[in-house]
Amino acid sequence: MTRWARISTVITSVVLVWLTERTPSIAQTTTPPLQIQLETGGFASTNQVTPFWLRANQYGVVPLMTPLATFQISLSKDYKPIDTTRHRANRLDWGFAVNPIANVGNSNQFVLPEAYVKLKYGAIEFYAGRRRELIGLGDSLQSSGFIIGSGNAIPIPKVQIATLGYVPLKFLRRFLAIKAGYAHGWFADTYVRGSYLHQKYVYLRFGKPKSSLKVHIGMNHQVQWGGQADYLRGTPLALDGHLPSSFKYYGNVILANRPSDFENADYTDFDGSYRIGNHVGGHDFAVELTTQRETMLIYYQHPFDDVSGLLFQNLPDGLVGFSWRRHPGNAETRFRVSRFVAEFLSTMDQSGPTFWIPNSTFQGADNYFNHSQYWQGWSYKGRSIGTPFIAPEGELKPELTQSAGAFFPDNRVQMGYLGAEGWFTNRLHWLTRLAYSRHYGTYANPFNAGLEQISLLLSAQTSLSKSGKTQLRTSIALDQGQVYPETVGGSVSLIHKLK
């Protein structure tokens, strides 16, 4: 793991510096106007439990309980649009976004899923704050949820430097493009005080920008590290509740290697035997085919929770997907499908059922998203950061969590998913999601048998004005099965764009 983490870190740093120096100027027009959008709506359900598809992958803004009313405003300024008619342009530009949300219901709350300032210079972008993002390769609009970073939890505040999407390398005749980023974040106001996020990613795209066939490969690596918590006091997991937080261990965090000491005044032998922090990440592979009328994408997201997963000892675990998208511009007035996605998720293997594997240098029982030191594992503000189908105990039926002994008591899952969206008579936009899943608990606390679950969503949105600035969106969803509380619910939202 050390070698691959070191390679990804070095590539990220070199590419960002190189692109800053070498990327040509891009001509642009005047500053776009401020974008302002207002939204108000409400949620209700049969037993006060919000259905899965009304809350999953919504960046943590929809509470688990209904009824509730919601009010929000979005303000944003993006970068200047490209103007190809100009020969010179300012390479420096900036933007921002802020999206405060007030929920009134069983428990009143104020949520700020997005609040950031961004600055770009050439092909390099820096931003600070909270920003809606996904981690991995796949269909970003209709996926069931990317396996490592799905947009299910509220974004973690961070500072990040990255490329603006894929940047073609001219010295390779633009056949190879690179996308890379490096970030430091804060798990602010959580059960572990003062813990940090380290994040980096590198992706390569083979194929010129206008090629019909492109191949994508890449890797992402995240670490939750540092902090202190009272529940760690008196345990062999930390020294008086404190986890190693000093900058002198930052190299061990980003390179994912063991510290030089087995134990010292900063940490116990738990960190010395393994690695500092909670490491998660993924390998991503995708093939993209574009024709005049449509784009198709086949992708595979492979998770790792330790060295065994990094070296694919947990195959075939991962998310496999197929996405089909119709290009805009065909002005049919009939019913049509504009996007279709099919996915299959499996997290059953986890490098085997036992931690110690005889005659092997690897360890099994990866126990996805759980962690011994960080009790709530790969989560933020009580929600899974990764796929929503690995759900925390508070989202499951109570009888499944009584003897779980883990924040994620159900991380061995198989799931099939279909999603589609389109138009009817050019005025009504429709969307549907259907997931069938089987749940097996964990290796340590398995369910008696594979528990079945069905979750369905039907949604429609239409314009209430000729200008299209006022929209009405309605949704209905249901959960039926043995895992989530059975419920039927719906939502109604009124959206108005001021500018």
Give pLDDT tens digits for 320-378.
Answer: 999 999 998 755 668 899 999 999 999 999 988 877 667 666 777 899 999 999 999 99
> Rounded to whole angstroms, how far apart are CA atoms 102 and 58?
15
pLDDT score, position 429? 96
pLDDT score, position 467? 84
pLDDT score, position 27? 36
3-state SS record for the chain? CHHHHHHHHHHHHHHHHHHHHHCCCCCECCCCCCEEEEEEEEEEECCCECCHHHHCCCCCCCCCECCEEEEEEEEEECCCCECCCCCCCCCEEEEEEECCEEEEECCCEEECCCEEEEEEECCEEEEEEECCCCECCCCCCCCCCCCCECCCCCCCCEEEEEECCCEECHHHCCCEEEEEEEEEEECCCCCCECCEEEEEEEEEEECCCCCCEEEEEEEEEEEEECCECHHHCCCCCCECCECCCCHHHHHHHHHCCCCCCCCCCCCCHHHHHCCCCEEEEEEEEEEEEECCCEEEEEEEEEEECCHHHHCCCCCCCEEEEEEEEECCCCCCCCCEEEEEEEEEEECCCCCCCCCECCCCCCECCCCCCCCCCCCCCCEECCEECCCCCCCCHHHCCHHHCCCCCCCCCCCCEEEEEEEEEEEECCCEEEEEEEEEEEEEECCCCEEEEEEEEEEEEEEEEEECCCCCCEEEEEEEEEEEECCCCCEEEEEEEEEEECC
pLDDT score, position 364? 72
Parts of the chain belonging to CATH 2.40.160.130: 2-226+277-497
Q: For residue 389, which of 436, 342, 456 has the smallest C-alpha distance? A: 436
pLDDT score, position 361? 65
pLDDT score, position 5? 45
Domain 2-226+277-497 has CATH 3.40.50.720: no
Q: Chunk the chain into consecutive blocks of 10 residues (it has 499) and report each block's average pLDDT, rounded to whole numbers.
A: 46 43 40 86 96 98 97 96 62 96 94 98 97 98 98 98 96 96 92 96 97 98 97 95 95 93 92 93 98 97 92 95 90 83 98 73 84 96 98 95 88 98 92 98 92 98 90 98 98 94
Specify the amino acid at residue 36: I
pLDDT score, position 451? 97
